[in-house]
Chain A
Amino acid sequence: MSARLLSDPLPLRPAAALPAYRADAGNAYLPWVYGRATLTPVPLSADSLEWLVADHPIVAVERVAVGSAATDGWQLTQRLDETGAAISVLRLTQAPQSGQALAVTVLGRRHPETGAALEHPADIAADLLRQCGWSVSADAFQGLRDGYPALTLGLVIDSPQTLREALASIIEPLGAVWRADPPSAHRAMPSAARVVLDLATADEISARSDASHLATVAHVRYAHDWAAGAARGALTLEAPDAIAQYGRIEITLDLPAVRTARDALACGTARLQDLARPRWSCDATVPARLALLPGDTVALAHPRVPSGAALVMSTAHDRSRDSLQLTVVMPAGPAPRIEMTQRSTAVDATTAQNGVTFRDGIATFTVTDDTGAPLAGATVTLDGQDTRETDRSGQVQFRTTRGAHTLSVYAAGYAPFTLDVVV
């Protein structure tokens, strides 16, 4: 197989590629799943007992919900379809009733040799290239492993997109930069300089900064639920000193594949630190022998432009002049202080580990911090009306009805926290 180009579409298969596909699968594409993600599977059998959860082998199905209720009546089989492709199929013991949604939480694609889940961005990016026929070395995207050692992602790819778009959607929201040939990526910040751009090396040089990219408040959405079609978590981050200087400029940062508040906070903070201060973009012409590549770092030491370490964003080789035209970027001033001012998440009572139970008209909520430790003495308000405090176990109870509710949580030392809860 010849390798696909970055501008070629991913080789996703339409549901119509399965000889036995059901007409109500419509124009769906058979999903690729990486890491832990919740999705609506593609119906396979006419009796609604068999559903395709991924167009490849997966590590596991972790949870199946019919309507809003979790069920144990299912079995995962991994088999070849009529075309010889490996697929993962969920077989239910009882078909969902008409109008009942099916949501499946999956731990997705496996490493072909180790069998481990591919959930680090470096592993996912490398696998996407392999699926497109690229030969990828083991240390490809090592910069992502170094920059985000503990990060795990969860995502579903189920719509047509190019290889470039898929790689960008995984790497760029993290605040990282990448190039395809050779495959590499790292945090979007300068590192050790390879070359000094000064009067001796830079023929023409200029710098530009404008206010259009500035933002001082970021609404971060993360943990996208592909079955519900919405993010399950949100944070608000603010740069107070930048707000005082530039005003309140709000943006939304979508991190759909980021699963945890901790990772969303780390990625969102890094991106807001970049957005909440001015940035110089410098154009320079240098000799081609310097052989600079996008992602390299240069030291700016030319009297016409501000000094400092800058990241090479793009290069253009002019063969007639044997020169390289560079565009490099550099933050101006120190990284601003970032504060989390709001956090919210959506919780489904059918997931026991979320700490929500409902019995005899009493909803019990367990409020924990990021480490899972109970938060005692937190003030919890249900639907803006009834306010109580959590006990030593972090638990608080309200008499209420089944349905959707909003919990507002205030605890000393934590950003105000909102939970959208279905009990």
Chain B
Amino acid sequence: MMTLRINTTPPLELAVLDAGPQRAALNGEVPNISVTLDNARGDVTELLAVPPLRARAELREGGATLFAGTVQSVSLAEVATLGLEA
């Protein structure tokens, strides 16, 4: 199972529903990925009421880091989507 660890105080550890493609390109586009979390009950909304923008975050699976970056965007609806940039 993938988890997202956000380096806030205290740190947040969130279960990940899905992670989008990890994008990389020539000429300056910063490697990025979007991470989807379940928000059907609004519990992510409660945790991220002050969005952790520019906080360091790591997408992890089985103890390995899949992607490390900072939170650049947060969207809240039935699912929560966080945009991370390396």
Contacts and interface: CB of A to CB of B under 8 A. Distances in A.
Contact of A210 (B41, B45, B49, B83): B83
B49 A208 contact: no
B71 A304 contact: no
24 contacts: A205-B77, A207-B77, A208-B74, A208-B75, A208-B76, A209-B53, A210-B73, A210-B74, A211-B53, A211-B54, A211-B71, A211-B72, A211-B73, A278-B50, A303-B41, A304-B76, A304-B77, A304-B78, A305-B45, A305-B76, A306-B45, A306-B48, A307-B49, A333-B50
Interface string B11-55: 000000000000000000000000000010110010011110110
Nearest to A205: B77
A357 to B, nearest CB: 50
A280 interface: yes
A333 B53 CA distance: 12
A209 B49 CA distance: 10
Interface in A332-362: 332-333
A273 to B, nearest CB: 15
Interface of A: 205-212, 214, 245-247, 278, 280, 303-307, 332-333
A234 to B, nearest CB: 27
Nearest to B74: A209
Nearest to B53: A211
A333 to B, nearest CB: 5
A95 B77 CA distance: 69
Nearest to A331: B50
Interface of B is mostly: loop
Contacts of A278: 50-51, 53
Contact of B54 (A206, A246, A303, A332): A246
Which has the most chain A C-beta neighbours within 10 Å: B41, B51, B74? B51
A307 B45 CA distance: 9
Contacts of B73: 208-211
Given A210-B53, A210-B72, 10 more contacts: A207-B77, A209-B74, A211-B70, A212-B72, A303-B41, A304-B78, A305-B45, A306-B49, A306-B76, A332-B50
Interface string B50-86: 1101100000000000000011111111100001000
Nearest to B71: A211
Contact of A206 (B41, B42, B49, B75): B75
A280 B53 CA distance: 11
A381 B47 CA distance: 52
A304 B39 CA distance: 7
Given A303-B42, A304-B45, A206 B53 contact: no
A246 B53 contact: yes
Contacts of A333: 50
A208 B71 CA distance: 13
B45 to A, nearest CB: 6
A332 B42 contact: no
Contacts of A307: 49
A193 to B, nearest CB: 18
A246 B78 CA distance: 28
A280 B39 contact: no
B74 A206 contact: no
Nearest to A302: B42
A206 B73 CA distance: 13
B36 to A, nearest CB: 13
Contacts of A303: 41-42, 45
In the A-B complex, list the 5 residue pairs whose CB atoms are closest, starting with the nearest. A303-B42, A206-B77, A210-B73, A209-B51, A306-B49
A353 B48 CA distance: 53
A46 to B, nearest CB: 57
B41 A207 contact: no
Contacts of B76: 206-208, 304-306
Contacts of B39: 304
Contact of A207 (B50, B54, B72, B75): B75
Nearest to A280: B51
A306 B49 CA distance: 5
